[in-house]
């Protein structure tokens, strides 16, 4: 009985951390091969680790975006946006909403990564033009 209450309280306390070993409508409806609770729990922990690492990495470009002015700030803002969107992707996946995470947040984060690359290309091209013009 005590164990039941402990589990009940833990589920309420950590309701935001949905370790997908619980009810997952998608898996029940589709009979998904990923219905293994151990595998889902491991995946959730890996998503948590990835999300923490991404948000930790976002500190540096976010700090630079606030500190820098001019064209280089556009590059750091794009990098921050990529890291934050990818971090959100891992948080959404961790919550068990894998289909939305994989179909929306992951492609969105890569599109922002491409935008970062294009911005970088534009800024370096501009810098090269200025250097040859001098």
Nearest to 88 by CA among 72, 108, 70, 114: 108
Q: How far apart are CA 57 and CA 109, in angstroms?
A: 15
Site for other proteins contains 26 (CB under 8 A):
yes
| Using rule CB under 8 A, residue 28 touches other proteins | no
Which of 6, 17, 28, 56 binds other proteins (CB under 8 A)? It is: 56
Give how far Cα 94 sits from Cα of 3, 24, 128, Å.
25, 12, 43
- Say how many residues touch other proteins, by CB under 8 A: 39
117 binds other proteins (CB under 8 A): yes
If one asks whether residue 10 binds other proteins (CB under 8 A), the answer comes out as no
What is the rounded distance in angstroms from the CA atom of residue 64 to the CA atom of residue 66?
5
Which of the ranges 1-9, 10-18, 117-125 carries the binding residues for other proteins, by CB under 8 A?
117-125
Is 49 a binding residue for other proteins by CB under 8 A? The answer is yes
Q: Give residue for tokens 């969107």.
A: 85
Q: Does 91 bind other proteins (CB under 8 A)?
A: no
């Amino acid at each position: 009985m005590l164990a039941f209450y402990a589990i009940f309280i833990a589920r309420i306390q950590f309701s935001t951390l949905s370790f997908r070993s619980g009810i997952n409508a998608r898996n029940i409806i589709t009979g998904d091969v990923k219905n293994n609770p151990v595998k889902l729990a491991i995946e959730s922990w890996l998503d948590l680790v990835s999300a923490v690492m991404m948000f930790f990495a976002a500190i540096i470009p976010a700090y630079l975006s606030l500190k820098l002015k001019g064209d280089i700030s556009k590059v750091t803002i794009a990098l921050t946006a990529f890291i934050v969107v990818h971090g959100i992707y891992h948080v959404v996946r961790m919550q068990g909403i894998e289909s939305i995470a994989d179909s929306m947040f992951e492609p969105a984060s890569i599109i922002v990564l491409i935008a970062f690359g294009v911005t970088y290309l534009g800024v370096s091209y501009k810098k090269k033009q200025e250097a040859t013009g001098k």
